[in-house]
Structure 1
Amino acid sequence: MGSAKVQDQGVPSRATQYIAAFIVNLMAFACGFSMGWPSTAIPYLEGPDSPIPLTAEESSWVTSLLCLAAAFTTPFAGLLPDRIGRKKTGYLIAAFLIICWILIIFAENVISLYAARILSGISSVGVFVFAPIYVVEISIDQVRGVLGTFVTILCNSGIAVAYVLGSVLTYEEVCYVNVSLPVIFIALFFWLPETPKYLVYSGKIEEAKKSLQWFRGNSYDITAELNEIKLSFATKDSLSPTLSFKEMFTSKVTIRGLFIVLVLGANQQLSGIYPVLSYTVTIFRESGSDISPNLSAIIVGFLLVFGNIIAIFLVERAGRRILLITSNSIMAISLISIGAFFYLKHIEADVSSIGWLPVTSLSIYVIAQSIGVGPLLYTVLTEIISPKMRYIANTMCISLVWFLAFLGAKFFINIADLIGVYSTYWIFSVCCFIAMLIIIFQLPETKGKSLDEIAKALEGKCKKRHNTYDLPNI
């Protein structure tokens, strides 16, 4: 422990926080790999050499069951971090994913694949509950936004790597890679401490001091921060979701925060990311591109990662609010362009001179999604929702995201056949514009602010400061 006085605390180490956030989100990478797995596995399983021949209907369930299982298990997954701790939650979701891939490796029928995908969905939702909570509880304000993007960045990286390895490795080899990922996570996660906030909540003050010192570095005086944590979590009720329904629906901050995160959750899926990615091959093919289906999927996967990397550098510079507004506006314009191309094809217009339009629009759309709407949902959620409300907000928001993803995976093609694929893209663009307007008028900037300052901004009491705007009361 440093001997510096509280007023001269020193500089907290950021390296340990970055390392911890990366290790925790290795499970996001593993779950992203599971999400990307069907893109190359399904064509093989539907083919003549498949060990388990699948029909188109069975394939759609193998693809979408992950999302459906995640939607319905979110309420239970959300309880685990407070009930058993962040560390044990991490081990448990890794164990589910290991069992998932063992089932797939030894699968002899489609039921085994269904069971495996359900377990994968449970593990995936666990990651998106556990990882953001762990990261926000170990982070200083100055890096909280950057570290909060790791969950989406590594998930998208997993998807991209799944596309690549699925095109160069055998079906069995890909499964072996998948089962090794959660094992690597467990080996590295073992060396990380439990979060200081959970240890204070559990009454383990000495362990909390050691944990906080590890995350801040030995030269940093943690006295003031530890006292602040103890004050914030003076009783166990302070960490647990104990708001009464009356408190929940009469608190302006709670209502506004919950409304914002639900809008951002719907925004993430109603921007059309899952269907658009599923239609990647079609967009490239219809444009007249000579790029192979596998290569087009790989390109889009790495564009997602590229956009997420850009987000790391922008999130603490430009701020969450401006990135979300910019992301939605660019996505909306890109979706209008893709829809226009498919409409012109529908009316049999000559589109040979604009074959570049859908490919370019898709590329811009993917980058725009991955710099704002994709990664910032989980960052904003942990910043504007109080600890007492966090479980309920996590549950509602993540359940909504997964359920909308399931609907997109299972029924997009049916809806596109009914109203025309161009109409679906235009509907997605309208959803982006609506979300953008709500963000403009309701979301305060949270960049570099303490949770208390953010709560005041939600109440409409914050003064203008830098890029922060006075917001009207609800």
Structure 2
Amino acid sequence: MIVTIVIAVSRADGLTTKDKLLHNGPAAVIAKSPVQGKDKAARGKAFKQILVALIVNFGTINTGMAFGFSAVALPQLEKNTSSIVVTEEQASWIASLSAVGTPIGCILSGYLMDVIGRRLTLIITELPLILGWILIATAQNVNMIYVGRVCVGLGSGMLGAPVRVYTCEVSQPHLRGMLGALASVGVSSGVLIQYVIGSATSWQVLAGISTMVPILALIGMLFLPESPNYLLTQDKEDRAHYSLARLRGSTYNIDEELQKMIAFKEKNHVEPLKKPSEIIKALMAPSTLKPFAILAIYFFLYQWCGVNTITFYAVEVFEKSGATLDKYTATITLGVVRVIFTVVGCVLGRRCGRRPLTFVSAIGCGTTMLAFGTYMYYSQYWKSAGIEPVATWVPVACVLIFMMACTIGYLIIPWVMIGEVYPTQVRGIIGGMTTCVAHLSVFSVVKLYPFAKTLLGVYGVFWMYGTISILATVFFYFFLPETKGRTLQEIEDYFCGRSKYLKKASIPQDNLQETHPEIGWKNNP
């Protein structure tokens, strides 16, 4: 880290601050950031943190499978040759019912995280997922599919917050952005798996194969250590020390990090909340409500940019867009692009920060949805007039570029921030409530798509999505904080009002400027 000191000229005696320091000696001790080499040596072993993050995020593949299942299963179920034939209304329920069970799972796991711990909650989340996929795979009627989708949604909702909170709590700041985004890689991979397998097999076989993911995830989670942050809130310092040792390696100064966490806990009176009145008071505090409001609005805006309409109805959207490319080939290509750019987003999240990637998504998604809707408008006109469509590559290009833009920001940043912005005492509960809001937004946009399509026309729906995304940039500009490179304690201090700086340089200015106000810091990475 390179630290630059900006010297201001003193008008009182014509001497610069530099002259004063040279002639009179230093007036204050200026603490500099560690140099790059020592900073790297002081970090824990990245491999251990990455391995733990990969294990815990493996289960998120299932969430993507829940999203992608309806895209390939519904066209099969709507055929007269299907063993279970469904109507358009029943199809919309199959697509959206997973999002009905999800909010319940979010609230439940949010509560369990703060009561029984992150690790045990993660293990429990896999059980409804296994049951749900078995019900769908063996379904004899549409009601069994309904129940199976609700169970899968319940498990997906239970999984969302614990995965992200756990990943952020066990990761060091320089890895947290990248590892926190692994959940989005898992979701995108799950969508792609469903698109690929679903295009080559029946929906029953697809559901049976999907059962293997939560089973393997359950086995992996049995070997995870508990979150040190959670153990400290339970006054289990010895276990927290042991957990940190497993996560950081033997060469890392575990005692130093642990003492910083304990000091923060004691300074801010972070104690377990046992009474309902204590929990409600913590939930109603500005340090909780401010980030909750920001993320709740973020999730609503990005869901109504149309991403899950594209994901859940991918085959139908390509079929009606006027594109000449095979609809299943286009859908699989969409899944591949989503996975690739989710990985790209993980890397960029570590380097670029949360705000810039969000702006890329908002503007990119907005412009491509407006262009896509415009092409669909002309496509319908050409079809009714008997005119041969032109530039049939345009709708496919719009959807692919839309997914690229959406993935590197919208599909990663708010999910990473769930594990970053909330106070330690209620991080589990409020994290669950946030994922609940996110999935309620998913349900609303997916369930209302057929209605909106009837009311506005297909092209009108995508014009609406594009407009919402463009307007969202105003909200993000004024209210979205930058958390890149900050410790969880620094972020909590910011929302509690103990610190005024979060979007600025990552080195606090207060101590220096109290002693020498004419000296400002510039922190150049």
- TM-score, structure 1 normalization: 0.89
Give 1:320 shift. 0.7
Is 1:32 matched up with 2:81? no
Deviation per residue, 1:214-249 (Å, 9 max, x gap): 100111110011122333445773577976766655
2:306 and 2:463 mapped to 1: Cα distance?
10
Give the aligned partner of residue 306 of structure 2: 272
Deviation per residue, 1:348-372 (Å, 9 max, x gap): 5868333332221111100100000
> 1:233–1:112: structure 2 CA closer, same or farther, 3 Å change rule?
farther
2:273 and 2:149 mapped to 1: Cα distance?
32
1:315 and 1:239 mapped to 2: Cα distance?
33
Given candidates 147, 157, 161, the residue that maps to 1:115 is: 147
Deviation per residue, 1:122-166 (Å, 9 max, x gap): 100011111011101101011111111111110111011111011
Given candidates 40, 44, 47, the residue that maps to 1:12 is: 44
Is 1:462 matched up with 2:501? yes
2:86 and 2:352 mapped to 1: Cα distance?
47
> 1:33–1:80: structure 2 CA closer, same or farther, 3 Å change rule?
same
> 1:188–1:314: structure 2 CA closer, same or farther, 3 Å change rule?
same
Given candidates 55, 74, 78, the residue that maps to 2:106 is: 74
Is 1:167 matched up with 2:204? no
Is 1:427 matched up with 2:455? no
> 1:170–1:354: structure 2 CA closer, same or farther, 3 Å change rule?
closer
Give 1:324 shift. 0.4
Q: How is 1:72-151 mapped onto 2 (pairs within 5 angstroms)?
A: 72-151=104-183
Give the aligned partner of residue 352 of structure 1: 389
Structure 1 range deviating more: 321-330 or 450-459: 450-459
CA contact (8 A) 1:335 1:365 kept: yes
Give the aligned partner of residue 43 of structure 1: 75
2:503 and 2:446 mapped to 1: Cα distance?
42
Give 1:250 shift. 6.2
2:112 and 2:265 mapped to 1: Cα distance?
18
> 1:445–1:103: structure 2 CA closer, same or farther, 3 Å change rule?
same
1:82 and 1:277 mapped to 2: Cα distance?
33
> 1:32–1:361: structure 2 CA closer, same or farther, 3 Å change rule?
same
Structure 1 range deviating more: 362-371 or 85-94: 85-94
Please give the secondary structure, in 2, of the residue aligned with 1:384: coil
* Number of residue equivalences: 464
> 1:80–1:351: structure 2 CA closer, same or farther, 3 Å change rule?
farther
Give the aligned partner of residue 443 of structure 1: 480
Q: Which has the larger radius of gyration?
A: 2
1:244 and 1:94 mapped to 2: Cα distance?
27
Is 1:295 matched up with 2:329? yes
CA contact (8 A) 1:283 1:358 kept: no
Structure 1 range deviating more: 159-168 or 194-203: 194-203
1:467 and 1:341 mapped to 2: Cα distance?
45
> 1:7–1:206: structure 2 CA closer, same or farther, 3 Å change rule?
farther
Give the aligned partner of residue 311 of structure 1: 345
Q: How is 1:249-264 mapped onto 2 (pairs within 5 angstroms)?
A: 251=286, 253-264=287-298
1:152 and 1:372 mapped to 2: Cα distance?
10
Give 1:388 shift. 3.3
Give the aligned partner of residue 334 of structure 1: 368
CA contact (8 A) 1:456 1:462 kept: no
1:255 and 1:88 mapped to 2: Cα distance?
27
Q: What one-letter code is carried by the residue in structure 2 that aligns with 1:28?
A: T
Specify every segment of 5 or more residues in structure 1 that has no aligned partner in the other structure, as ranges: 1-5
Give the aligned partner of residue 438 of structure 2: 401
Given candidates 245, 252, 261, the residue that maps to 1:213 is: 245
Please give the secondary structure, in 1, of the residue aligned with 2:199: helix
CA contact (8 A) 2:102 2:436 kept: yes
Q: What one-letter code is carried by the residue in structure 2 that aligns with 1:274?
A: N
> 1:389–1:430: structure 2 CA closer, same or farther, 3 Å change rule?
farther
Given candidates 231, 243, 260, the residue that maps to 1:199 is: 231
1:88 and 1:452 mapped to 2: Cα distance?
24
1:64 and 1:297 mapped to 2: Cα distance?
19
Give the aligned partner of residue 8 of structure 2: none
> 1:463–1:176: structure 2 CA closer, same or farther, 3 Å change rule?
closer
Please give the secondary structure, in 2, of the residue aligned with 1:67: helix
Give 1:202 shift. 2.9
Give 1:14 shift. 0.8
Specify every segment of 5 or more residues in structure 2 that has no aligned partner in the other structure, as ranges: 1-37, 510-525
Please give the secondary structure, in 2, of the residue aligned with 1:311: helix
Q: What one-letter code is carried by the residue in structure 1 that aligns with 2:417?
A: V
1:257 and 1:31 mapped to 2: Cα distance?
24
2:404 and 2:122 mapped to 1: Cα distance?
30
Give the aligned partner of residue 189 of structure 1: 221
Give 1:287 shift. 5.0
Structure 1 range deviating more: 139-148 or 219-228: 219-228
Given candidates 490, 508, 522, the residue that maps to 1:453 is: 490
Give 1:108 shift. 2.1
> 1:181–1:10: structure 2 CA closer, same or farther, 3 Å change rule?
same
> 1:467–1:138: structure 2 CA closer, same or farther, 3 Å change rule?
closer
Please give the secondary structure, in 2, of the residue aligned with 1:403: helix
1:218 and 1:440 mapped to 2: Cα distance?
43
Give the aligned partner of residue 3 of structure 1: none
- TM-score, structure 2 normalization: 0.81
Q: What one-letter code is carried by the residue in structure 2 that aligns with 1:337?
A: A
Structure 1 range deviating more: 69-78 or 367-376: 69-78
